[in-house]
Amino acid sequence: MEPRGRLVVMISGFGSNLQAILDACREGRLWAEVVLVVSNRRDAYGLIRAARAGVPTLYFPLRPYRERGLDRIAYDQDLADQIAPYRPDLIVLAGWMHILSSAFLDRFPGRVINLHPALPGMFPGRDAIRRAFEAYRRGEISCSGCMVHYVTPEVDAGPVLVQAEVPLYPEDTLERFEARMHEAEHRILVEGIRRALERLRSCEP
């Protein structure tokens, strides 16, 4: 039997997407294991989720770099140095709130994927769920969605692995829409990881 895929998951907050990955690995729906969880925030609840699952964690903040006058390139290089010893097959950005530069991405070519709560070409960057909800209220869109894509230096614009539409309804509140979005995110994130791992295995000699 082929070995489990080695995942490094990067988070910045509550970690519900991380939990979806951990659950899928534990239940056998995803032939992989999370070998490290990285956060740029010490108070990220996802670090607690990781610790409860017995997964090593790394708190790696940007602020000390800024205070020393160092740029994002230095941060990304050091972050890559910290992750590399874990030999990840995939690095999964699951709520990671920093843009990664080529200094990081070039260390793991074709191995960094991201979950983004919008469809391709729509609402790149932060607050995508709120921006989609407001656009619906203005009559500019009829639905939104989410996607898992490969990470490139251009924000939320890399090749898409999987996507799903999430409808909006007249009676929606932002909270209701956000809850449906998260349900779809958890589903496609597991599928996106599975597809990315399959592609890597198909390229192995």
Active site residues: 116
User: How many Cα neighbours within 13 Å face the side chain of 89?
Assistant: 22
Give the whole-angstrom CA distance, residue 175 versus residue 151. Answer: 28
Residue 126's alpha-carbon distances to 58, 61, 88, in angstroms, are 23, 19, 26
Give the whole-angstrom CA distance, residue 98 versus residue 85. Answer: 21
> Which residues face 7 on adjacent strands?
34, 90
Alpha helix ranges (H) inside the chain:
16-27, 45-52, 63-67, 72-83, 102-105, 128-137, 174-203
Is-contact 62 52, C-beta < 8 A?
Answer: no
Is-contact 124 96, C-beta < 8 A?
Answer: no
Residue 152: name the closest of 91, 101, 203 by CA. Answer: 101
